[in-house]
Each structure stands twice: as structure tokens, then as C-alpha cells.
Amino acid sequence: MLRIAPTFEVLRPETLDEVVNLLDQHGEAARLIAGGTDFVPNLKHGLYAPEVVIDLKGVSALRGIEHRPESLVFGALVGLHEMETDTRVHAVLPSLSRAASLVAGPQQRRMGTLGGNLCLDTRCVYINQTEFWRGALGGCLKKDGDVCHVTVTGKKCVAAASNDTAPVLISLGATVELLSPRGVRHLPVDELYINDGIRNLALGHDEVLTRVFVPRPGPQRRMGFEKLRTRGAIDFPLLNCALAFDLDEAENLSEPVLIFSAVAARPRSISQLPVGRLDAALIAEFGQRAFASVRPLTNINADVDWRREMVPHLVSRAFEAALGRASATPFSLSNAR
């Protein structure tokens, strides 16, 4: 079993003021931990070497879901299990609830938080390994090396954004609240991510994500989420996609948004989506648009051509979910051909 070398101090603030003061005091030597379900494995793999770890779990101001007339407001410590099982969240934001329910397995969803999911580090088959494994290859741009084993000639890390709630929150027009010693700022979730796999967050080292604001959707808004993974549970996405659109009484679709992730360092918005009567041909057109834009890389351990072929299937399944017909069978290697 991999162990953590006890080379850092753990601090347990109880208020946001204390968190901000600690971030200010310790600068880049400090790292935040929430549920720890990603942070701890990465620590064990020697990807981080903090001097101070700031444990957020005692900060009660980061908990709770507020149902406001115009929005739902989630504290950063809201658990994935809570998002999956809260019937009011499921009724208003079914795609978010579904994305939370498809993260990892039950243990990680009990521990893991929304804030931790949004701030999840990027993943790559060449980096999420032990120090010994990585050392044998001489490291890479993200850690201890000067080459990218995925692009080989490229000078940019293309490790994949792999968080399941991020594409959904982008598709719903959500914003995050960030707190630092300089005060509070708000950012659309889409702008929280940059195209750099080394660190894909537009978040200063002294900033903490405090809340997520999701606008309450109108009565015609439909939304779906789908995910492809190796097994029917536990696994990170091989691809995921979030869909949202308006549908009127005559079945006309408008205002579509389609976001794909687990491809590059940040989620990708698919452009030039069609509008019109919702039928099989329109769904196929969505699939073709996504297929043209989504080009999986070898940063994830599954055949890239096969993953690309799965793109239109993922889109049709997201439509099924948006129309309230989500399959209870997870989309995985065993049923995706």
C-alpha cells in the first residue's frame, strides 16, 4: 500500500476568514483539501509536496444547498451523494444530479464534494502513476520532465479535465464564487478552466471556491448528461457530455448547448448546433457536429478511434436522458460497441 510521508502540517480552520488568512500566510506552500478523494491519491503518488494542508471540512459556511427563487446555490462542501439523492435538486437540475450519481463509486461520492470535483486536477495515463513508474519514463511536462508522452513533440500538457460535474454546470450557465485575501469574485464555470493540463484552473493559489450558483431553468429547458467509462462504476470518464436545450409544445428545439469533456485540458463546447423539430435526424446532426469537433487523445488509456466512434452514441444517450428516458444501464466497455 502506498503511504503518505508526513512532511506537512494539517490546519483545520472553522471560518472562511481563517481559510483566507492561512492562504495569505502560506502562499504556494499551502494546498486545500475537501473530501480528499483525489487529493490523497495524488499526494501518495508524489504529485504534490505541500508544506501545509488546509482542511476545509470544519468550515460550516461552505455547507448547504439554498433554493432561491432565481437560482440554486451550492456550498463548495456539498457532497456528491447529497446532490445525487436530494429530490429537490433532482427535480430542478436532473443533469447535475445524474452527473453526481455517475462519479466514481458510493464511497467516493460519500466523501467527495462539489468544490473538490470542480477543482479536480487533470488526469493522464502518464501522470496518475507512482513516482517510481513516472521516474522510469523520465517524468513529463506536468511533473519532473521536459517532454509530453502524449503529443511527443508538443510543448503543452494536454492532460484531460475529468470532472463529471463541470460540463453540466457549464451547460447550465452556472457561476462560481471565489474568495481570496483580495475579496470575492464571480466567474462563469466555463471561465474557471484554461487550456493547460499542468494546471487547468483560472484560480489563484490563494483563492478558495466557496459557492456555485446555478440559474433556475425555465419550464421549457431540458437537460441531460451521459458518460462513457471502462466499467459500469468507479471509473473516471473516457468521455462525458452535457446537453441542454429548450423544447416547446410543438417539439421544436432551440437554444442548444452541448459540452464534451475528458478530451482535453478543459471542457469543450460544440459549436454550430442545429435547431428545429426534434426528431432522429436532428439528433443525428448533433452527433455529427460533436464527432467533427471531438478528437480524443492518448492521455486516457482507451483506444482513441473507438472513443471517437462513441461520440454520436453518447449524444443520443444524452438526448434520452434529457427527455426523461435515461438508461439505467451505464454506458461502458461491456455495452458500447
Examine residue 111 and tell whether it contacts ligand FAD (CB under 6 A): yes
Judged by CB under 6 A, which of 50, 299, 310, 336 binds ligand SF4? 299
Q: Is 37 in the site for ligand FAD (CB under 6 A)?
A: yes
Task: Establish if 150 lies at the interface with ligand SF4 (CB under 6 A).
Answer: yes
Site for ligand SF4, residues 100 to 139, rule: CB under 6 A:
124, 126-127
Stretch that binds ligand FAD, among 83-91, 125-133, 228-236, 245-253 (CB under 6 A): 228-236
74 binds ligand FAD (CB under 6 A): no
Closest separation in Å from C-beta 154 to ligand SF4? 8
Q: Closest distance between ligand SF4 and the C-beta of residue 192, in Å?
A: 19
Q: In angstroms, what is the minimal distance from the CB of 141 to ligand SF4?
A: 4
Nearest-approach distance from CB 114 to ligand FAD, in angstroms? 7
**Residue 57 vs 216, nearer CB to ligand FAD:** 57
The residue number whose beta carbon is nearest to ligand FAD equals: 116
- Report 169-208 residues binding ligand SF4 (CB under 6 A): 197
Would you count residue 142 as binding ligand SF4 (CB under 6 A)? Answer: yes
CB of 124 to ligand SF4, least distance (A): 3
Rounded Cα gap, residues 233 and 104, in angstroms: 6
Taking CB under 6 A as the criterion, the residue among 93, 119, 253, 278 binding ligand FAD is 119
The answer to the question of residue 108 lying near ligand FAD (CB under 6 A) is yes
Q: Which of 54, 99, 141, 241 binds ligand SF4 (CB under 6 A)?
A: 141
Question: 13, 36, 46, 94: which one contacts ligand FAD (CB under 6 A)?
Answer: 36
| Residue 59 within binding range of ligand FAD, rule CB under 6 A | no
Can you give the three-state secondary structure of the chain, one letter per residue? CCCCCCCCEEECCCCHHHHHHHHHHHHHHEEEECCCCCHHHHHHCCCCCCCEEEEHHHCHHHCCEEECCCEEEEECCCEHHHHHHCHHHHHHCHHHHHHHHCCCCHHHHHHCEHHHHHCCCCECCCCCCCHHHHHHHCCECCEECCCCCCCCCCCCCCCECCCCHHHHHHHCCCEEEEEECCEEEEEEHHHHECCCCCCCECCCCCCEEEEEEEECCCCCEEEEEEEEECCCCCCCCCEEEEEEEEECCCCEEEEEEEEEECCCCCCEECCCCCCEECCHHHHHHHHHHHHHHCCCCCCCCCCHHHHHHCHHHHHHHHHHHHCCCCCCCCEECCCCC
Q: Does 300 bind ligand SF4 (CB under 6 A)?
A: no
Strand partners, 224: 243
* Strands 252-261 vs 331-332: parallel, antiparallel or unpaired: unpaired
Q: Which of 224, 210, 239 is nearest to 172 (CA)?
A: 224
Rank residues 62 and 150 by Cβ distance to ligand FAD and give the closer one.
62
Binding site for ligand FAD (CB under 6 A): 31-39, 41, 56, 76, 80, 103-104, 108, 111-113, 115-117, 119-121, 162-164, 208-209, 234-237
